[in-house]
Amino acid sequence: MIGYNIIGKKISALNDKTIQASNPKNQEQLEGEFHVATTEEADEAIQKAKAVAREYANLPSSKKALFLRTIADNIEKLSSKLIDRVVAESGLPEGRVTGERGRTCGQLRFFADKIEEGSWVNAIVDRGDVDIRQCLQPLGPVVVFTASNFPLAFSTAGGDTASALASGCPVIVKAHESHLGTNNLVAECIMAAAIECGLPDGVFSSLNGAGYELGSYLVKHPDVQAVAFTGSYGGGKALYDLAQSRPHPIPVFSEMGSVNPIFVLPQAMEKKTTSWAEAIASSVNLGAGQFCTNPGIIVVERNEFLTAFSDQLVDAFSRLQAATMLNKGIHANYNKAKYSKSQESGVKIKYIEIDDDKASLSAHPCLLEVSYADYSKNPKLSQEVFGPFTIMVVCENQSEMKEVASQMEGQLTASIIGEADEIIKANDLLEIAASKVGRIIINGMPTGVAVCEAMNHGGPFPATTDPRFTSVGGNAIYRFVRPVCYQGFPDELLPDALKEANPLGIRRLENGEYK
């Protein structure tokens, strides 16, 4: 495997410097040397994207939809070649990777269907004394930073790329250093689809990079119009700050993680002690805790059922299997963070294992406990640990549970576990939690994000840099467009979505009525 950079419809390797991916289970370097992109190659990719942005935006939706479906078809044709490479680079089990491939291709086809239907452009027609019309138009070239924890679904052809291409924006992908071979295979699928569908040269590019130089160059480039990122708070905030320091700032849609608190009410603790304990433990450990929606805080009320619930949690944690983490840095940070938190004042260790096997990067789940009194005095305890970690906050009453919710920073999710009558009585808690999250869940785990129109995978800062948007689901497309108003235009110069005869046949708001 020779890892070239892909610039539109050509491959490029101007730099002699190469990087390699490694297998997290044994630290062995994997086949393939991947050429680090130069600034000249990055600039060429951006200039190509800029040159074709208008042409691509104006292509019929049917042609863009065909492009997305062809990408999905090409990815599926790779079969075990892709699955094996993802498993080798990520340490994830084959079943998980196969499922993620399905989600990735499903997202592409989901957005193909959405843009073919067409109403997402929010066409508005006001025929008054002055004829005024409005619809959404793509921003222009978008840079997508691929994620470490989802090497397919949040990466090269993942949700960010799929929604940006669907919106009509060219995409430049910055490959993740842990998944260079995976990126190479998928990027070739996208390039092949662009050629097969006869798209203009520059709609998609993929660049390999080491360190921060390439990413910084891409974000600061004056012709880049938006950035999408999934990863750590430090990385996402750094990109956001770079973009805001430009002479002309641009939007950065960073999804930066969350502790996803679960509030367990007393009757649930009493009636379904074992089932809820096992569900929570499994959710904490899912994917070695490397989902942005793993629950990092469990909030409970001290009562006669707490001891039994706590014992069941410990038992469930003790039966979970250690899992391989994605890379050395993530593994080292997880171990450092969990042991650091276990030494904080007032913290009790409920379940912890020593994860010193640096060769396999395996990680055991960790369960700690702290009283609300100690938790409320120590901001460190509310910070995310990326890995299979959670801390149980024991409150003396429901007022303290509400205080935990009130003191939360922005989160992706919050869950309320309880019987029907007590959930109704806990409406104040629900409303407080809802004000801090993008998705609130009753009697369910936060791990598991459906790709559908109603899904919101976002939340107030620091969960994301912009709480108005989602990175999963149909509304993800709105990150990469802006409203444009057309006043007094002759019909032949209007976008098809706004023409009088409505040639696209889409639902529009006309003089205040949807038609």
**Of residues 44, 255, 278, 301, which has the active-site annotation?**
255
Catalytic residue among 105, 197, 292, 395: 292
- DSSP 8-class letter at 493: G
The pLDDT of residue 358: 67
Q: Is 272 a residue whose pLDDT tops 80? A: yes
* Averaged pLDDT for residues 474-485: 98
- Whole-model pTM: value is 0.96
The rounded distance, in Å, linking the Cα atoms of 289 and 23 is: 19
Q: How far is CA 326 from the centre of its chain?
A: 16
DSSP class per residue in 159-201:
HHHHHHHHHT--EEEE--GGGHHHHHHHHHHHHHHHHHTT--T
Alpha carbons 404 and 249: distance in angstroms, whole number: 35
Gyration radius of the chain over CA positions: 24
Give me the domains of the chain, ranges plus CATH numbers: 2-256+467-480 (3.40.605.10), 262-442 (3.40.309.10)
Active site residue 28: no
Q: In whole angstroms, give the CA distance from residue 22 to residue 30.
A: 5
Q: How confident is the model at residue 1 (pLDDT cuts 50, 70, 90)?
A: low
- The chain-wide mean pLDDT, for the chain, equals 96
Neighbours of 379 (CB within 10 A): 10
User: CB–CB of 471/160 below 8 Å?
Assistant: yes
Alpha carbon distance, N-terminus to C-terminus of the chain: 53
What span, in angstroms and rounded, lies between the C-alpha atoms of 90 and 13? 25
Beta strands per DSSP E along 295-453: 297-301, 323-324, 348-351, 362-363, 366-371, 389-395, 411-417, 437-442
Is residue 170 predicted with pLDDT exceeding 70? yes
* 6 contact partners, CB below 8 Å, separation of at least 6: 12, 187, 188, 190, 191, 204, 205, 206, 207
Helices (H) and strands (E) in the chain, counts: 16, 24
Does the pLDDT value for residue 355 go beyond 90? Answer: no
pLDDT score recorded for residue 448: 87
**What pLDDT is stored for residue 175 in this prediction?**
97
Tell me how far the alpha carbon of residue 191 is from its chain's centroid.
Answer: 23
**Is 388 in contact with 288 (CB distance < 8 Å)?**
yes
Q: Please say if the pLDDT value at position 181 is more than 80.
A: yes
Rounded Cα gap, residues 63 and 25, in angstroms: 42
Per-residue confidence at 359, pLDDT binned at 50, 70, 90? confident
Between β-strands 18-19 and 437-442, what pairing exists: parallel, antiparallel or unpaired? unpaired
Once rounded to an integer, what is the mean pLDDT over residues 389-401?
97
Confirm whether 292 is a catalytic residue.
Answer: yes
If one counts every other C-beta atom within 10 angstroms of the C-beta of residue 135, the result is: 22
Question: What tens digit of pLDDT does each residue of 201-239 get?
Answer: 999 999 999 889 999 999 999 999 999 999 999 999 999
Mean pLDDT of 185-200: 98
* Token pair of 5 as six digits: 């950079």
Q: What is the pLDDT of residue 405?
A: 97
Residue 357: the pLDDT is 67
Rounded Cα gap, residues 354 and 229, in angstroms: 32
Quick one: what percent of the chain has pLDDT higher than 90? 97
From 478, 469, 474, select the one nearest 137 (Cα to Cα).
478
Encoded tokens for 31: 């086949």
Return the structure tokens found at 429.
């808690």
> For residue 272, what are the contacts with CB-CB under 8 A and spacing of at least 6?
none
> Is pLDDT at 462 greater than 90 in this prediction?
yes
